[in-house]
Structures are given as C-alpha cells and as structure tokens.
Structure 1
Amino acid sequence: MNRPLVLSSPTTGSGWGAGIAQHKVLRNTYALLSMTLLFSAAVAALGVTLKLPPAGLIMTLVGYFGLLFLIHKLQNSGWAVPAVFALTGFMGYTLGPLLAKHLSLPGGAQAITLALGATGVTFLALSGWVLATRRDFSFMGGFLFAGMVIALLAGVAAMFLQLPALSLAVSAMVALLSAGMILFETSRIVNGGETNYVLATVSLFVSIFNLFTSLLSLFGFGGNND
C-alpha cells in the first residue's frame, strides 16, 4: 500500500531550529494543515456568498463521521490527502450558514473577527509552548476524550431543550477541551507518539474548528447582549 505523499523536503542545519525543521511529521502536518484551513475557509466564504442552506444535524453527523472513518481507512494511502480535503471542505460548508447567521446580527462581524483572532493566537501560543518545551501531554488523552463525549451529549440536550445557558456552558467547555487537544496532539507529534501526518492534521484541524466555533458562540452571545 502506498505511503502518504511527502509535502516538503528535509533541510539542513544545526541547533534547536534545525531540529524542528527536520521533523518530517511536524513539517508535513503544518503544511497540510495550512492548506486545509485555507480550503475550508474558502468553502465557508462561498457558502456565505451563495447563501447555502444549513446541512442539518443528521447530515452533519453522517458526513463528518463517515469522512473521518474513510480517512482512517486510507491513512497510509495516497488517497488519504484527498479524503482530508473532502472532510475539511465539508466542515467549511457546515460553517458557512453559521457565519451568515452571525453576519446578519448586530456586531456579528466583530464577533467573527474576535473569534478568528483568538483562535489563531491560542493555537500559535499553545503550539509554540509545546515546541519550545517538548513537554509530554499524553496523560490528557483519556480526560479529553471523556470531556468531548460529555460536551457532545450536553450540546445535543441544549439544542433539543432550548436552553441558552446550557449552550453557553457547552461552548466554554468545548473551547477549553479544544485547547487541551491542541496541546495533546502537538505533544504527540513532537515526542513521536503520532507518526502519521494525515491523522495529526485531521486532529489539529478539528480542534481548531471546534475552538473557533465555540469562541464564536461565546463572543456572539456577549455581543447580542450589549
């Protein structure tokens, strides 16, 4: 079976900076992550422009978990990268109607800008910390998984029960868990716990996506109450 495509070539040098640059999994992960983030943002922007309808809960869950399963099946194949773009493009599509909804509200554009900026700063700060210290956060795996399951169930309950306070609490919980996932996955890459850059990219992308959407909900809620 074919190995995943290598997106960059080794560099030469010495010292801490060269050691990071020569980490193939890390380099490939960040290269693919940057491309998928741009692709997903373009699809979301297209969705806003064309006023595409929301995917709906069932279609979102089926599409997300179905494509995630496909990526895991193809993780060591050259088809894994197209599958990653399919997943991130689909997630961009689901984001489009959410952005359009916020843009139609007073202060919506400001909330999107704040959420985007906070997400970027958080990712860079947490990733930079792990890269600089090389701390091992693998012990957080079980806690983060359990937390995400609880957050998912609480989010579904908040949606069906129409409880704004619970929705706000879930958004805050997901934001914290997503930050933890960024620490966890970056640590695994740096310390050799994750050797497949396709899976690493998907994990980081989903964490960034969840962090952005949860912060958007928090900032949007605050803006609507001003």
Structure 2
Amino acid sequence: MAEPVRNYQTRAVPGVGVDAAIDQGLRAYMIKVYNLMGLGLLITGLVAVGTIMLATTTDPASAVATLPNGDMLTSFGYAIFGSPLKWLVIFAPLAAVLFLSFRVQSMSVSAAQTTFWVYAGLVGLSLSSIFLVYTTASISQTFFATAAAFGGLSLYGYTTKRDLSGLGSFLIMGVVGLIIASVINIFLQSSALTFAVSAIGVLVFAGLTAYDTQNIKEMYFEGDETDVAGRKAIMGALRLYLDFINLFMFLLQFMGDRR
C-alpha cells in the first residue's frame, strides 16, 4: 500500500551524514514530518475509540446483534461490522491513500494535508474492529511497545552513517510477499502461515521504518519552494504513518490477548 508513495519525485541531497544540529532547516523539516505523522496517529486513535463506543452497547434493549464473545452491537455497529457496508469501511482507506499518493503533486499543501487527515480518520474507522477481537489492555500495551520500537528504529535511520538505500528493493519485495501470503491464507486459514506472516511483517516494517526515515531525510533540499517542501513533509509523514500502523498490527498478532 505504501508503494505509490515511493514514486514521489524529489531532489535528494547526496550522503546521509547531515548534522541536524547545524542544519536548522533539516531539523525543522523533520520535526514537521514527525508532527504530521503524530497528528495522523492521534486522529486514527480518536476515531477508532469513538467508533467502537458508538458501535457497541451494554444495554440489551439497544442491541441489534450479539457477537460470539458477548459484545452487543448497536445499529451503527452492525452497519459497519456486519452489513455489506463493512467492505466500504475496509477499502475506503486504500482508495484515500492511493488518491493522495498519485495526486499529491497537483494538490495544494492544504488539500494534501486535509486528505491525509481524512485518510487517518478512515483508518481509525477500519481499525476500530480490533477492539472486538483483542482486549483494550493488550491493545494499549502493543501501542506503547510499537511506539518505543518505532522511535528507536527511526532514530537509527536518522543518525546512522550507513547507507540503507540498498535495503529498499528487498523490503518492497517483502511487502509484496506479505500481501500475497496474506491473501493465500484467507483460503488456507493456516495458523503456521499466520505466525510466519506476522513475524516477517514485524521485520519488514522495522526495516522500512529505518529506511524510510533516512530516505525522508535525504528528500530535504533547502532550496525547495514552500509548497514543494510542504508536500514532501506530508508524504514523508504518510510513509512513516504507514510503517507505524503496519508494525503495530503485526505486533498485535503476537502481543494481543484475544477476548
């Protein structure tokens, strides 16, 4: 899903050893990227929590359906989790991210940023279903574990003198392999394949976090016009956002306690 983002045309600065303490422009650029990503995650979290609160109830009189685990769904919950509308909820984020990835160069910064917020909200709507599968405590624990891992990996990607560009094609092939294996497992329902996909997924998106951070850093060019720099920051934030969300979901399959 992140692949179209990588086709975004930028002017790269050769080398990876830029000193952020000296280059104030680079530091401001990276702070903007992280702030945009963080706000995107906040929107996703708020929408997910708000959705599950509206979708479930403890009042039998308000419930229109009861799940095997005992959760009772409201009419809204049944619509987004049990009716054909669920397919719109599932695929709407994909449509939004593809739209942003392919149209960003012709969009204004404000329009691109708004599209990113909309995408983050749609992801929150889609991910709200994890509260029906995993306990709230394990979801919280996995989130903080993901945040710690992501922070360390991104810091490594930002500070390392090692050129990580050689990992790019390998990691993208890994993402493609994960997608294919996940589709196959829809039919096989193999627990062993599920475990393998989850383990490989954690490794792939851990690598992508470091790789993308370094690549986003190299996208910075102090001579960029304001609009160009703004669009670069948004697309950089989107890439890191995707890395975080995918890392979180794969870790949740290991750390999550099912209800």
- TM-score past 0.5 threshold: yes
Map Cα deviations across residues 19-58 of structure 1 (whole Å, 9 max, x no partner). Answer: 3653143122111111111111001111221123347467
Q: Which has the larger radius of gyration?
A: 2
Partner of 2:165: 138
Partner of 1:10: none
CA gap 1:134/1:22 in 2 versus in 1, 3 angstroms: farther
CA gap 1:151/1:58 in 2 versus in 1, 3 angstroms: farther
Partner of 2:21: 18
Work out which of the residue numbers 69, 72, 77 in structure 1 matches 2:108.
Answer: 77
How many residue pairs align between the two structures? 202
Post-superposition offset of 1:130: 2.4
CA gap 1:124/1:57 in 2 versus in 1, 3 angstroms: same
Give structure 2 stretches of 5+ with no counterpart: 1-17, 56-76, 222-228
TM-score (norm 1): 0.80
Higher RCO, 1 vs 2 (CA within 8 Å, ≥6 residues apart): 2
Work out which of the residue numbers 139, 142, 146 in structure 2 matches 1:115.
Answer: 142
Work out which of the residue numbers 208, 213, 223 in structure 2 matches 1:181.
Answer: 208
Please identify runs of 4+ aligned residues in structure 1 that moved more than 6 A: none
In 1, distance between residues paired with 2:51 and 2:195? Answer: 25
CA gap 1:56/1:99 in 2 versus in 1, 3 angstroms: same
CA gap 1:192/1:47 in 2 versus in 1, 3 angstroms: same
Post-superposition offset of 1:96: 0.4
C-alpha RMSD of matched pairs (Å): 2.3
Letter in 1 for 2:116: V
Partner of 1:3: none
Give structure 1 stretches of 5+ with no counterpart: 1-14, 103-107
In 2, distance between residues paired with 1:45 and 1:58? Answer: 19
What is the SS of the residue equivalent to 1:18? coil
